[in-house]
Copies of this chain bind each other. A is one copy, B any other.
Amino acid sequence: MYSEKEIEERLSERNIRPTAIRILVLRKMLEMNQDEAFSLLDLENRLDTIDKSTLFRTLTLFHDNLLVHSIDDGSGSIKYSLCKRGCECFGEASHVHFSCTLCHRTFCFEKIAIPRIDLPVGFSYESANFVFKGVCSVCSRSQK
């Protein structure tokens, strides 16, 4: 589905040297649901040849080079999600997330931007994390 060249290009765009493992990780993330964010453990389970510390360093590198954004959904583990190509976020997503209290999946609501809020005088804005909790559409359907 995704050619090696396509993936290498995407890494190079962000000044990430395309090693075998990085290509593997990026390919997997491209294949996974783009509207969901995954924890390190999620990825480890889907890429069981790769050591978790390597995965951690790979994701940290991806994050530092703005290829993925991270979300703290309050689950106790950080979730990662691929940035859209040409994404303007600076490591933290500029959109809202949703964390399902039943299946514990975290969804990216790409279309819902984090609203602008006027902070009190003296407080400067760097980034924001806006996460909803509730029951996702899949779980609420299967509960009926």
Contact = CB atoms under 8 A, between A and B. Distances in A.
A132 B125 contact: yes
> What copy number does this chain have within its complex?
2
Given A74-B72, A122-B141, A141-B122, A132 B117 contact: yes
Interface residues of A, number: 33
A25 interface: no
A54 interface: no
19 contacts: A72-B74, A74-B129, A92-B133, A112-B117, A115-B115, A117-B132, A119-B132, A122-B137, A122-B140, A123-B135, A123-B136, A123-B137, A125-B132, A125-B134, A126-B135, A127-B133, A128-B132, A128-B133, A129-B131
